[in-house]
Structure 1
Amino acid sequence: MRLIYLLVPLLLLSLLHPQHNLLADPVKPENDDQQQMLQKSLSIVEIDHEIDRITRQQDDTQTGIGKLQSQLEAKQEQIKNRQEHAGAVVRSYYMGERDNLFTLLFSAKSLSNLLEIYSYYEMIMDQDKTVLNAYQSQYQSIKETQQRMENSYAQLTAIKNSLIKQRERVLALQKDLDSSIAGSSDPEAMKKMIQEFTNYWENVGMYEVKRYFSALSSAMDDLPEFIQNKKGAIRTNGTTYSIEIQEDDLNDFLKSKNELFNNFAFHFRDNKVIAAGESGNLSLQVEGHYSVENEPENSILFHVDKLVFNGLELPDTTCRQLEKEFDLGFYPQQIVSFVKATEVTSRDQILHVTLKLSM
């Protein structure tokens, strides 16, 4: 009976914690060959995920094109009727029928007769305007739908090309990996190691990477307020403003936002931003750079150039996906509303942003 009392709390505890907390420690490669094989297997897993994302995007785009095609056919049917009415109106002006109505105004024999003819004339003119406006509106709607379809087809072509490229890439990697495994001293043990690492990455690794990115994205929401309150962070010289963020200040700010950053730090070097840290058996390093963007709004966006998990570099597809999913940039106009960023540099432990008056 005591055993049951001991087991029940353990069972409840296991249900409360995600599965990744119960997995074994991450696989550690013993040599460069194993490192390379794990690197390739990680890239294959992530590029496979990218292929799945692209395939879903392709399906969604194809469905959208089908809907646009149906809308276009319906609009084309509607415009046929409008076209007939609009044609009749145009012909009446071309044949001078509306001019004849206008001349009737001068043939009125009394004021009441004049008002009656004018009222009739005005009613016809209003009806003509309604017919022509309706035709123009339908015609414009068709043109816009056709443009959306053309854009969707162009997008679909780009998606298909990307899908082909990624499939070729993953096949080449898989061929290399299979060859490396076959040439290893113990192929079965290597396969098992790769499978264990793959399971660890998909259940723990990506979760941890996204946890850090999510925390960073959340902290960046409060960065404008931090800069405004930091003495000397904002400087002005005539119509030029500048923001300087010391890496130590940024790291202190991040630690104040989330304890995850107690073992994670940013460094500014030669227009590169390097963020790295360790927690237990996990290590993460992110290398990237900031750029000034003006669409859809003026912003300082962070681009992930390199992502290393436990010493293994993830493919560019994962970097791009994390960029899409998490916004690690900041928006200068949230700091000073009447300026826009024109340049950003990072060197000597300082992130420097140049701003100009926004006219």
Structure 2
Amino acid sequence: MLPLTRAAQLSASSGASFSAPGPDIPDNAETRKLLEQSLSSAEIEREIIRITAEQSVLEKKVNLLQKEAADKETAISEQQERAGAVIRAYYMGDRDGLLGALLSAKSIGRLLALYDYYEIIIGRDRDILTQYKEQYKDLKSVILTAQRSAQELEQLKASLTEQKIRVAALNEEIEGGIRDSSDPESLSALLEEFTRYWENIGLHEVKTYFKALSAAMNHLPQFVQSHDGMLTRKGMTYHLALKQEDLNDFLVSQNPLFKDFAFQFADGQVTASGTSGGLSLTLTGHYTIQEEPVSGLMFHVDNVVFNGLELPDSTRESLEEEFDLGFYPGKIVSFLHATDVESKDGVLHVKLSISF
């Protein structure tokens, strides 16, 4: 990770969201570790609340689906018997007499009457089989949905158990660190103050930047398309060379929040950092190629540092899930899709091919 950019100071006139500095963080490795653990504990607790709510919703869904499947199974039993009777009639040759009578008709009038009768019976048989087929298909769909939801529920329960174990272990470490410190009371107060600051201000500030980045990335394809030389073609292959200076200029044009927030493209890594008063944010990630459901470059958050403290994995994952920082070449030209991506020497290189 590149060092935090201390020189960049976001002023109130720049449109920066950062407003209130957090508590002073001692330059002490043990204290910083405890602060990061406190952040992790707070974020895992937030994840536990989210998972618990999601679990409750999913439990209700599973119960409803299981009841719906049972109701459909009861309703289909009568139709199943009727469909079975129709199939047995054909298998046993019970309908052969009708066809024989039709073929042996000795007058046009009798032939037409028998044909109408035959059509009524065959049509009724067809309706019974079609209705059963549709009901059975519907029943299978409900059962499969219930099974998938039940599996998802089990995964949620396992995740909830895992997170509870994690937060319990973290809290035990934090309490041990406080007990072993030279001033347990002051350290406990600092951890509590920083946790409140993160929950009330810090998380909001981080999300503000991610939201602004996500909104800006939606317009990046138009920016690339409007700049000659950024996208070049050689035969059936296109090459996009996006310089970090161009990206930073683009971001400022989209939102003044990025006036002192800079992207850097290093070897296989994308880093963005900015500061405002006593607050700083650095995120590090990388791009990968995605084919489905939409071809594009997906940005993966590898590391987020807030005020010099690394945020836990649960926060990184939730930020990546909530905010799409991807780049979709199909918005430049509909038939383009990315085949390779590389970041080095201040440039993001993307190879594109034509796909109809």
- Please tell me the TM-score bracket, short chain as reference: over 0.9
Matched residue, 1:271: 268
Q: Secondary structure at the match of 1:45?
A: helix
> Which shifted more, 340-349 or 152-161?
152-161
1:235 aligns with 2:244: no
Q: Secondary structure at the match of 1:126?
A: helix
Highest relative contact order (Cα 8 Å, sep 6+), 1 or 2?
2
- Distance of 1:232 and 1:316 partners within structure 2: 39
Render the CA deviation track for 1:275-328: whole Å, top value 9, x for unaligned: 000011110000001111122111211111100000000001001101111111
Matched residue, 2:6: none
Q: How many residues align?
A: 340
1:60 aligns with 2:57: yes
Please, which of 280, 283, 286 is the counterpart of residue 289 of structure 1? 286
Q: Classify 1:254/1:297 alpha carbon distance in 2 versus 1 (closer, same or farther; 3 Å).
A: same
TM-score, L = length of structure 2: 0.92
Contact 1:236–1:242 (8 Å) recurs in 2: yes
1:156 aligns with 2:138: no
Contact 2:18–2:279 (8 Å) recurs in 1: no
AA in 1 matched with 2:110: N
1:256 aligns with 2:253: yes
Matched residue, 1:344: 341
> Which shifted more, 249-258 or 150-159?
150-159
Superposed, 1:1-359 pairs within 5 Å as 25-359=22-356
Q: Classify 1:315/1:24 alpha carbon distance in 2 versus 1 (closer, same or farther; 3 Å).
A: closer
- Distance of 1:73 and 1:121 partners within structure 2: 37
Q: Classify 1:329/1:23 alpha carbon distance in 2 versus 1 (closer, same or farther; 3 Å).
A: closer
Q: Secondary structure at the match of 2:26?
A: coil
What is the Cα deviation at residue 107 of structure 1?
Answer: 2.3
Q: Classify 1:140/1:122 alpha carbon distance in 2 versus 1 (closer, same or farther; 3 Å).
A: same
What is the Cα deviation at residue 243 of structure 1?
Answer: 1.2
- Distance of 2:268 and 2:144 partners within structure 1: 40
Contact 1:23–1:200 (8 Å) recurs in 2: no
AA in 2 matched with 1:245: L
Runs (5+) with no aligned partner, structure 1: 1-19
Contact 1:299–1:332 (8 Å) recurs in 2: yes
Seq. identity, %: 47
Q: Secondary structure at the match of 2:259?
A: helix
What is the Cα deviation at residue 22 of structure 1?
Answer: 8.7
What is the Cα deviation at residue 218 of structure 1?
Answer: 0.7
Matched residue, 1:3: none
Question: Could you say what the CA RMSD is over the residues aligned between the two structures, in angstroms?
Answer: 1.5
Q: Secondary structure at the match of 1:97?
A: coil
Runs (5+) with no aligned partner, structure 2: 1-16
- Distance of 2:95 and 2:327 partners within structure 1: 62
Q: Secondary structure at the match of 2:314?
A: helix
- Distance of 1:267 and 1:334 partners within structure 2: 24
What is the Cα deviation at residue 73 of structure 1?
Answer: 0.7
What is the Cα deviation at residue 53 of structure 1?
Answer: 1.3
AA in 2 matched with 1:189: S
What is the Cα deviation at residue 30 of structure 1?
Answer: 3.9
Matched residue, 2:13: none
What is the Cα deviation at residue 23 of structure 1?
Answer: 6.0
AA in 2 matched with 1:170: V
- Distance of 1:242 and 1:125 partners within structure 2: 63
Contact 1:243–1:353 (8 Å) recurs in 2: yes
What is the Cα deviation at residue 46 of structure 1?
Answer: 0.6
